[in-house]
Amino acid sequence: MIGVAVRVHSRTGDDLGIAHLPPPVEVGGVLELGNGPILLLRVVDLVETGPHSSLAALVKVSPAPMVVR
């Protein structure tokens, strides 16, 4: 996998699994999640982990509005 591994949680605390994101992972960033229908999610909070962790961060997300142009 390319990128850094992060554990993703919804704003209500649901564990949405692990995603691999390109660095840097930042509040306000958008990620795609899902093997079936793709969910667009916006990072609303994050906690970076230590250098010896297998995860780069714990992130909290909310649905991102889809923009059609």
- Residues 11-59: pLDDT tens digits? 999 999 999 888 889 999 988 887 777 788 999 999 999 989 999 999 9
pLDDT bracket for residue 2 (50, 70, 90): confident
CA proximity to 61, closest of 1, 6, 4 = 6
Enter the DSSP assignment of 27. Answer: T
Domain ranges of the chain: 4-63
